[in-house]
Amino acid sequence: MDSDLFQPFSNFDFAARDAVIAAVSGGSDSTALLLLLKAYLDEKAPAVRLAAVTVDHGLRPDSAAEAQAVGHFAQSHGIAHRIFAWEGPKPATGLPAAAREARYALLAEAAAEEGTDLIVTGHTADDQAETVAMRQARSDGRGLAGMAPATLFDGKAWIVRPLLETRRETLRDYLRANSVGWLEDPTNVNQTFERPRARARLRDEADVSKLLAAARDAALLREYLGREAAGLIWAHARHVAPGLFRLDPAFAAAEPRDGAVYALRILLAAIGGTPHLPDEARGARLFDRLSVKPFCATLSRTLVDARRGGVFLLRETRGLPEPEPVRDGMIWDGRYRISGEAEGVLVGPHDPAIEPDAETLPADIPPSLVRAALSAEPMFWGGSEPAVPVAIPLVAPWVRFLPSFDLEPARAVAELLGAAPPPASPYAKHNVTGA
C-alpha cells in the first residue's frame, strides 16, 4: 500500500460500521476514491461492505449511460454498485445547489437502505481551494473554513471526505499508474457556473497553497470558537418556559468576547428557526447592547428582551406559519420536526387565548414573556383519532448540514432545546479530543 495515499483513511472510523457507501460520479477523484477505499478496507476492515452509488442527475443526455459505465467499472473490481436517479422537476435557477441537495438526499437514502450512516466522497484539496475561493469572493459571512472532513446530513448520514488534503493531480497520477481512465464531466468546465469559474481562476499553485492554509486556519478558529461558544451556552443559557430562554446577566460580560458573540448568533438562529446565523457585525452590535438594560431588539426572527433579571430570547410572533395539515416528518417553522400522521389534524401557532398554566409559571419570569413565547410554539388541533402528533425540537442552523467543526455548539444547543444530541463524529481526530 502506498502509505501516503492511504493514510487519510485511517482518520475515519470505518471498522465500526457494517457498510460504507462510496459516492462515485466516474470523474477522476471519485474513481480514485473507490479504488483506494476498496484496497484500504480489504486490508484493514474486510468485514465492512463497500457499495458504490452513482446519482444520475438526468441533466445531460449521456448521464444514464455514464452511470452504467461506472457500474461496470465497479463490478469489474468486485464492488456492488447502484444507480439512484434524480427524478421530478429541475429548478431554472440555482441548479448546482439543487442538484447537490438532491444528490445528498439520494446518497442518504442509499446509506439507509444499506444500513449504514457513512457516505464517502472524493472531494479533494483542489475542491477545497475552490470552495474557499468562492466563499472569499462572496464573502457571505459564513467564514472561510471550507468543507469539513465530515458533515452530518439531515441528522442521520455522515458525508466523509478522506481525500480533502490530497491534490487532484496526485489521484490522477495514481489512476494513470494503474491504467485506469475516468470520465470528464463537461459541466466542470462550463463557465456559466460559479465553481468552474473559480476552478479556471485557480491556475497559480501559490494561490492554491494560500487558500488551503487559510482553510486550515479558519477551521481551527471555528472549532475553537465553537468550543468556547458551547461552554458559554452551557454556563449561561437556560430553557425557562416553553419557547422561552434566559441568558444570565453575566453573559453580557463573558469572555472571550468572540466566543460570546458566536454563542449569541447561534442562539438567535436556533431560537428564531433560521438556517443561517445572523451576520457577525450585527451579532456583535447586539451583544454590545446586552449590558445596557432595558433593551429590546429582534434579529434572526428572535426577540431579545434584556432586563434586570437577565436577557430573554424567544421566537418573534411575526411570520409564523399559517395553520396547515400535519404531514409526518414535516419541519415546522425551521424549529420542530413533526412526527406522526393523523387524519385531519392541523398544526399552527399556539392559540394566544389559551393561557399558560398558572401553576407552572416560573415565579421570577415576566408572565408577558411566557405568554408571548408560548404563542410562537406549535399546537395541534382537529382530527378524530386520539393519537396526536408530536413536535420534536431541531437545532435550526444545522438541520440540513452539520459540519464536524460545529459539533460542540450543536451539542450544547441540542441540550438547551431538548433536541436529540448529534451522533459522535466518525472523524477520529475529533473523537480523540472527545468532540
Ligand X SMILES: Nc1ncnc2c1ncn2[C@@H]1O[C@H](COP(=O)(O)OP(=O)(O)OP(=O)(O)O)[C@@H](O)[C@H]1O
Q: Is 76 annotated as a binding residue?
A: no
Name residues whose C-beta falls within 8 Å of residue 3's C-beta, 6 or more positions apart in sequence.
none
Q: Which of 5, 24, 111, 311 binds ligand X (CB under 6 A)?
A: 24
End-to-end CA distance of the chain: 30
Q: How many CA atoms lie within 13 A of 223 on its CB side?
A: 17
Q: Which residue has the cell 468572540?
A: 258
Q: Does 30 bind ligand X (CB under 6 A)?
A: yes
Q: Does 151 bind ligand X (CB under 6 A)?
A: no
8 Å CB contact between 131 and 219: no
Q: Does 426 bind ligand X (CB under 6 A)?
A: no
Q: Does 114 bind ligand X (CB under 6 A)?
A: no
Q: Is 30 annotated as a binding residue?
A: yes
Q: Rounded to the nearest 10 degrees, how much is the dihedral formed by the CA atoms of 245, 246, 251, 256? A: -10
Residue 196 Cα distances to 188, 265, 272, angstroms: 5, 32, 35
8 Å CB contact between 264 and 286: yes
Q: Does 55 bind ligand X (CB under 6 A)?
A: yes
Residue 188 or 209: which CB sits closer to ligand X? 188
Residue 81 or 246: which CB sits closer to ligand X? 81
Q: Is 28 annotated as a binding residue?
A: yes
Q: Is 25 annotated as a binding residue?
A: yes
Residue 57 Cα distances to 23, 66, 84, 97, 355, angstroms: 13, 11, 9, 12, 51
Cα(402)–Cα(399) distance, rounded to whole angstroms?
7
* Phi, psi (deg, nearest 5) at residue 200: -65, -35
Per CB under 6 A, the segment of 53-61, 331-339, 360-368, 394-402 that binds ligand X is 53-61
Q: Which of 5, 19, 23, 233 binds ligand X (CB under 6 A)?
A: 23
Per CB under 6 A, the segment of 118-126, 145-153, 220-228, 351-359 that binds ligand X is 118-126
**Considering the complex, what minimum distance in angstroms separates the CB of residue 147 from ligand X?**
10
Q: Does 121 bind ligand X (CB under 6 A)?
A: yes
Q: Which of 19, 20, 36, 54 binds ligand X (CB under 6 A)?
A: 54
Q: Which of 10, 75, 188, 339 binds ligand X (CB under 6 A)?
A: 188
Cα(287)–Cα(263) distance, rounded to whole angstroms?
10
Helix (H, G, I), strand (E, B) or coil at 256: coil
**Considering the complex, what minimum distance in angstroms separates the CB of residue 281 from ligand X?**
32
Q: Does 148 bind ligand X (CB under 6 A)?
A: no
Q: Does 27 bind ligand X (CB under 6 A)?
A: yes
**Considering the complex, what minimum distance in angstroms separates the CB of residue 22 from ligand X?**
7
Cell of 208: 492554491
Q: Is 425 annotated as a binding residue?
A: no
Q: Is 26 annotated as a binding residue?
A: yes
* Phi, psi (deg, nearest 5) at residue 20: -135, 140
Q: Does 222 bind ligand X (CB under 6 A)?
A: no
Binding-site residue ranges for ATP: 25-30
Chain residues that interact with ligand X, rule: CB under 6 A: 23-25, 27-30, 53-55, 57, 103, 121-123, 127, 185, 188
